[in-house]
C-alpha cells in the first residue's frame, strides 16, 4: 500500500506529535495546515446541506460537531481522492445498504463528498470501458473498498473480473491504494461463501494480503459505518483505532446486546417464546428464539439500516451475529439459543478462535503446587491461592496479602437477596420459578442457615452455590466445582455470555485483619441476574458454566492488570483446572505477562 501523500506534516509539528498524544482537534488542525500548504481545494462543501450532513456524521466517529468548520475545509481539499469499490464473491448487499443512505442521499455522497471512481453496480460504463477506468486509477490517489471474499488456490478463478482472477485484481489495487477497507463480513472474514464446506476456498482479505486493512463487517454493514470509516480517513489521514479483529472501535466496541432496546426484558427474564407470541409487540427479549446479540459486536441498534428505518431486533428477528467471523458455522441454529443441543450437523469452524486460544495457551505454564506465598519462592509478582482464598502481592519492598471475600454462597439466600433487590430482579426470580418450578422449590426448601458442608475455600462454595442454582443439587462444594468445570469444558462453542463479575478492593478493618492488608470483595449482583436470565432464556448448563468460569477469569485478569503486576503471576487452586478460566485471566493481561498454574 502507498503512503498517503496528503498526510505530510511540518517537521516542527511532527516533534510535537511524538512527545505527547495530540487531541483530535490538534490533529485536525495540523492536517488542515498541511493540506493548505500542499494542495488546492478541488471541491466546495460549504453549503448548508453538505455542512449539515458532515456535522451529523462527525459524532458517530467521535469528532465533536463544533469542529465542523475544520472538517468541511479538509474535505474540500480531498476532492482529488477517488473511491474504488471492488466486488469479489458476495451478494451485493453491502452496496445495497450504502445505496439506501439518506440525507443527503447516495448521489450527493458519491458526486460531491467522496468521488466514486469505480463501482460495478452503479458504473455507467461496462466491459472494456469499465476496465479502462479501473486500470488508469494508479496515477490518482484512491481509497479501496472491497466487498466479497477472495477465492484461492485451485479455485482462484471462481471469481474473475474481465478475465483476471479476483485475487490478481485485488492484489494490484491493494498495492496502490492509500487505505483499504474490507466492506462486509465476506471481505473481512470470508462470510457466507466460506461457510462449511467452503466450496470456493474463499478467504477474508487479511488472510491473503499482508496489508493494513480495516474491517467493516456486517452482512451487510450499516451505511453509516461505511461512511464513518471513509470520513475518518479523509479527515484524519489515518485509519481509525481498531479492536483485535480489525474493526473500528467507534462502531464495534459494544455488543448489540449492550445497546439493545429489549435489554430490560432480558434482565427481567421476559422472553418471547415463539415468533407469533403476542409478547413480541410488547418488546420482550428475543434470546429464546435465537438472538445472538450478546455475542455480536456492532452498533446496529444505534445506526440502524435503510435510512435509519429499522434493524433486525426492532423488526422482530434476533441478531444472527452477522458481523462476527464465521457466524454461519459458529453460532449454531439461527432461531435457537446457543447450546450444545443446537450444534448444526457439522463441526463448526472456529479457526480464528482456536488460533487465539493457542496464542493464549503459549503464555500458560504448569508449576508445582505451593502451600503458601513463602513456599512459592518468587521475589516479585503475585501469588493467588484460590483454594485458600488469598492473594499475595509479592514485591521486594512491600509484600501485601489480601483476603478474598466472594459474598453469599448459599443458593437459597442468593435467591432471597435477588427477590428483594428490585422490581426487575423480583420479576426475574418469578420467571425463574415459572421456568424451573422443581428446581426453585428444591432450593427454597433448603435450610437457609445451612453452611457449606465442609470447611472449604470461598471460591468452591460459590461455584457450589451456582451449580445448585442450575441443577438443584447441593454437592459437596469441591465436587460441585469439579462438576461445573466439567460442564464448562463440554461447551461446544467459544462464546461467553457476558455476566459481569467485578472485584472491589477495600482496606481490612482491624477486627478482620488477621494479617491481611485488605479485602477483595466479589461484586456478583449483576452477574447473578445475567446468569439466571441466560438460563431462563435457554442457554444450557454447559454454556452458563462456561460463562461463569470465563467471566470470573476476566474479572481476575482485569484486577491484576489494574494492579499492574510486574514479575511472575502464579495462580493455584481447583478453578485453575478450567482452561476457560485461565485463558480469560491471561487475555485480560498485557502480552508480556505469563502465568504459571497449579491445581
Binding site for ligand SF4 (CB under 6 A): 256-257, 260, 262-263, 266, 285-287, 291, 293-294, 313, 318-319
Nearest residue by C-beta to ligand F3S? 319
Distance in Å, CB of 147 to ligand FSX, minimum: 5
State the binding partner of 320 from ligand FSX, ligand SF4, ligand F3S, none, CB within 5 to 8 A by kind: ligand F3S
Distance in Å, CB of 78 to ligand FSX, minimum: 26
Tell me how far apart the alpha carbons of residues 277 and 292 are, in angstroms, rounded to a whole number: 19
Taking CB under 6 A as the criterion, the residue among 6, 34, 268, 298 binding ligand F3S is: 298
Q: Which is nearer to ligand F3S, 114 or 252 (CB)?
A: 252
Q: HSE on the CB side for 308, CA within 13 Å?
A: 6
Asked if residue 312 binds ligand FSX (CB under 6 A), the reply is: no
Cis? peptide before 104, omega within 30° of 0? yes
State the binding partner of 185 from ligand FSX, ligand F3S, ligand SF4, none, CB within 5 to 8 A by kind: ligand FSX
Per CB under 6 A, contacts with ligand FSX among 392-411 are none
Q: Are 412 and 369 in contact (CB under 8 A)?
A: no
Radius of gyration of the chain (CA): 27
* Contacting range for ligand F3S; rule: CB under 6 A; set: 174-182, 309-317, 379-387, 494-502: 309-317
Q: Which is nearer to ligand SF4, 322 or 443 (CB)?
A: 322
Tell me how far apart the alpha carbons of residues 469 and 444 are, in angstroms, rounded to a whole number: 11
Q: Are 180 and 174 in contact (CB under 8 A)?
A: yes
State the binding partner of 311 from ligand FSX, ligand F3S, ligand SF4, none, CB within 5 to 8 A by kind: ligand F3S
Per CB under 6 A, contacts with ligand FSX among 276-295 are none
Tell me how far apart the alpha carbons of residues 501 and 529 are, in angstroms, rounded to a whole number: 11
Q: Which is nearer to ligand SF4, 318 or 543 (CB)?
A: 318
State the binding partner of 260 from ligand FSX, ligand SF4, ligand F3S, none, CB within 5 to 8 A by kind: ligand SF4
Tell me how far apart the alpha carbons of residues 541 and 354 are, in angstroms, rounded to a whole number: 23
Distance in Å, CB of 149 to ligand FSX, minimum: 8
Tell me how far apart the alpha carbons of residues 353 and 587 are, in angstroms, rounded to a whole number: 13
Strand partners, 492: none
Q: Which is nearer to ligand F3S, 142 or 311 (CB)?
A: 311
Q: Which is nearer to ligand FSX, 147 or 169 (CB)?
A: 147
Q: Are 583 and 556 in contact (CB under 8 A)?
A: no
Asked if residue 536 binds ligand F3S (CB under 6 A), the reply is: no
State the binding partner of 549 from ligand SF4, ligand FSX, ligand F3S, none, CB within 5 to 8 A by kind: none
Helices (H) and strands (E) in the chain, counts: 27, 17
Sign of CA dihedral 263, 267, 272, 273: positive
State the binding partner of 192 from ligand F3S, ligand SF4, ligand FSX, none, CB within 5 to 8 A by kind: ligand FSX
Tell me how far apart the alpha carbons of residues 394 and 409 are, in angstroms, rounded to a whole number: 29
Taking CB under 6 A as the criterion, the residue among 54, 86, 98, 320 binding ligand F3S is: 320
Q: Are 123 and 130 in contact (CB under 8 A)?
A: yes
Per CB under 6 A, contacts with ligand FSX among 43-102 are 90-94
Q: HSE on the CB side for 46, CA within 13 Å?
A: 9
Taking CB under 6 A as the criterion, the residue among 30, 32, 137, 192 binding ligand FSX is: 192
Give the x/- contact pattern for ligand F3S in 225-264, rule: CB under 6 A: -------------------------------x--------
Angular region, 585: left φ>0, alpha ψ -120 to 50, beta rest? alpha
Asked if residue 322 binds ligand F3S (CB under 6 A), the reply is: yes
What is the DSSP code string of 12-60? HHHHHHHHSPPPHHHHHHHHHHHHHHH--------SHHHHHHHHHHHGG
What is the DSSP code string of 107-166? HHIIIIISEEEEETTT-S--HHHHHHHHHTGGGS-EEEEEESBEE-GGGGGGSEETTEEH
Give the x/- contact pattern for ligand FSX in 197-236, rule: CB under 6 A: ----------------------xx----------------
Q: Which is nearer to ligand FSX, 116 or 598 (CB)?
A: 116
Q: Which is nearer to ligand SF4, 174 or 338 (CB)?
A: 338
Strand partners, 570: 383, 596
Taking CB under 6 A as the criterion, the residue among 79, 141, 166, 184 binding ligand FSX is: 184
149: burial class by Cβ within 10 Å (0-12, 13-18, 19+)? buried
Nearest residue by C-beta to ligand FSX? 93
What is the DSSP code string of 164-191? EEHHHHHHHHHHH-SEEEEESHHHHH-G
* Contacting range for ligand F3S; rule: CB under 6 A; set: 305-313, 387-395, 413-421, 423-431: 305-313
Q: Which is nearer to ligand SF4, 256 or 588 (CB)?
A: 256
Backbone torsions φ then ψ of 90, nearest 5 degrees: -165, -175
Residues 6+ apart with CB under 8 A from 62: 24, 250
State the binding partner of 90 from ligand SF4, ligand FSX, ligand F3S, none, CB within 5 to 8 A by kind: ligand FSX
State the binding partner of 286 from ligand FSX, ligand F3S, ligand SF4, none, CB within 5 to 8 A by kind: ligand SF4
Give the x/- contact pattern for ligand F3S in 444-463, rule: CB under 6 A: --------------------
Interface with ligand FSX: number of residues (CB under 6 A): 14
DSSP code of 574? Answer: G
DSSP code of 366? Answer: E
Asked if residue 147 binds ligand FSX (CB under 6 A), the reply is: yes
Contact set with ligand FSX (CB under 6 A): 90-94, 147-148, 184-186, 191-192, 219-220
Contact set with ligand F3S (CB under 6 A): 218, 256, 296, 298, 300, 311-313, 319-320, 322-323
Amino acid at each position: 500500500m502507498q503512503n498517503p501523500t496528503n498526510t505530510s506534516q511540518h517537521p516542527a509539528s511532527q516533534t510535537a506529535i511524538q512527545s505527547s498524544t495530540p487531541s483530535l482537534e490538534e490533529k485536525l488542525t495540523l492536517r488542515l495546515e498541511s493540506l493548505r500548504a500542499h494542495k488546492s481545494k478541488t471541491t466546495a462543501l460549504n453549503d448548508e446541506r453538505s455542512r449539515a450532513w458532515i456535522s451529523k456524521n462527525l459524532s458517530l466517529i467521535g469528532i465533536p460537531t463544533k469542529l465542523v468548520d475544520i472538517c468541511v475545509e479538509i474535505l474540500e481539499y480531498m476532492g482529488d481522492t477517488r473511491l474504488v469499490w471492488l466486488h469479489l464473491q458476495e451478494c451485493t448487499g453491502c452496496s445495497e445498504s450504502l445505496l439506501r443512505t439518506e440525507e443527503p442521499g447516495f448521489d450527493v455522497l458519491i458526486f460531491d463528498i467522496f468521488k466514486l471512481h469505480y463501482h460495478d453496480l452503479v458504473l455507467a460504463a461496462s466491459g472494456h470501458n469499465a476496465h479502462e477506468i479501473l486500470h488508469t486509477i494508479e496515477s490518482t490517489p484512491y481509497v479501496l473498498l472491497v466487498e466479497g471474499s477472495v477465492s484461492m488456490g485451485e479455485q482462484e478463478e471462481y471469481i474473475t473480473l474481465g478475465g483476471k482472477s479476483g485475487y490478481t485484481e485485488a492484489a494490484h489495487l491493494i498495492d496502490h491504494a492509500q487505505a483499504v477497507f474490507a466492506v462486509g463480513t465476506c471481505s473481512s472474514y470470508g462470510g457466507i461463501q466460506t461457510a462449511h464446506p467452503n466450496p470456493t476456498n474463499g478467504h477474508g482479505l487479511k488472510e491473503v494480503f499482508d496489508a493494513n486493512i480495516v474491517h467493516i463487517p456486517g452482512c451487510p454493514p450499516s451505511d453509516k459505518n461505511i461512511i464513518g470509516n471513509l470520513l475518518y480517513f479523509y479527515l484524519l489521514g489515518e485509519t481509525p483505532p481498531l479492536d483485535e479483529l480489525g474493526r473500528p472501535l467507534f462502531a464495534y466496541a459494544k455488543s448489540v446486546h449492550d445497546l439493545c432496546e429489549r435489554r430490560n426484558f432480558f434482565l427481567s427474564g421476559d422472553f418471547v417464546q415463539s415468533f407469533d407470541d403476542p409478547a413480541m409487540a410488547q418488546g420482550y427479549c428475543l434470546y429464546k428464539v435465537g438472538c445472538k446479540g450478546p455475542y455480536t459486536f456492532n452498533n446496529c441498534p444505534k445506526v440502524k439500516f435503510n435510512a435509519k428505518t429499522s434493524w433486525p431486533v426492532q423488526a422482530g428477528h434476533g441478531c444472527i451475529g452477522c458481523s462476527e467471523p464465521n457466524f454461519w458455522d459458529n453460532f449454531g441454529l439461527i432461531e435457537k439459543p446457543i447450546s450444545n443441543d443446537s450444534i448444526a450437523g457439522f463441526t463448526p469452524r472456529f479457526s480464528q478462535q482456536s488460533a487465539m486460544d493457542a496464542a493464549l495457551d503459549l503464555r500458560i505454564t504448569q508449576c508445582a503446587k505451593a502451600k503458601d506465598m513463602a513456599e512459592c519462592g518468587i521475589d516479585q509478582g503475585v501469588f493467588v491461592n484460590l483454594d485458600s482464598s488469598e492473594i499475595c502481592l509479592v514485591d521486594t519492598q512491600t509484600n501485601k496479602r489480601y483476603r478474598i471475600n466472594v459474598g453469599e454462597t448459599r443458593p437459597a439466600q442468593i435467591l432471597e437477596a435477588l427477590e428483594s433487590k428490585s422490581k426487575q430482579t423480583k420479576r426475574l426470580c418469578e420467571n425463574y420459578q415459572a421456568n424451573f418450578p422443581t428446581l426453585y422449590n428444591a432450593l427454597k426448601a433448603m435450610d437457609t442457615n445451612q453452611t457449606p458442608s465442609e470447611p472449604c475455600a470461598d471460591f468452591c462454595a460459590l461455584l457450589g452455590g451456582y451449580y445448585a442454582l442450575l441443577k438443584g443439587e447441593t454437592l459437596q462444594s469441591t465436587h460441585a466445582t469439579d462438576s461445573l468445570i466439567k460442564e464448562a469444558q463440554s461447551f461446544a462453542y467459544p462464546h461467553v455470555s457476558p455476566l459481569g463479575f467485578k472485584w472491589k478492593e477495600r482496606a481490612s478493618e482491624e477486627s478482620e485483619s488477621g494479617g491481611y492488608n485488605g479485602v477483595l470483595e466479589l461484586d456478583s449482583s449483576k452477574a447473578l441476574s445475567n446468569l439466571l436470565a441466560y438460563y431462563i432464556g435457554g442457554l444450557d448448563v454447559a454454556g452458563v458454566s462456561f460463562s461463569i468460569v470465563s467471566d470470573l477469569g476476566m474479572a481476575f485478569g482485569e484486577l491484576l492488570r489494574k494492579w499492574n503486576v510486574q514479575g511472575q503471576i502464579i495462580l493455584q487452586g481447583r478453578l485453575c483446572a478450567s482452561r476457560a478460566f485461565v485463558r480469560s485471566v491471561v487475555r485480560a493481561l498485557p502480552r508480556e505477562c505469563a502465568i504459571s498454574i497449579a491445581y
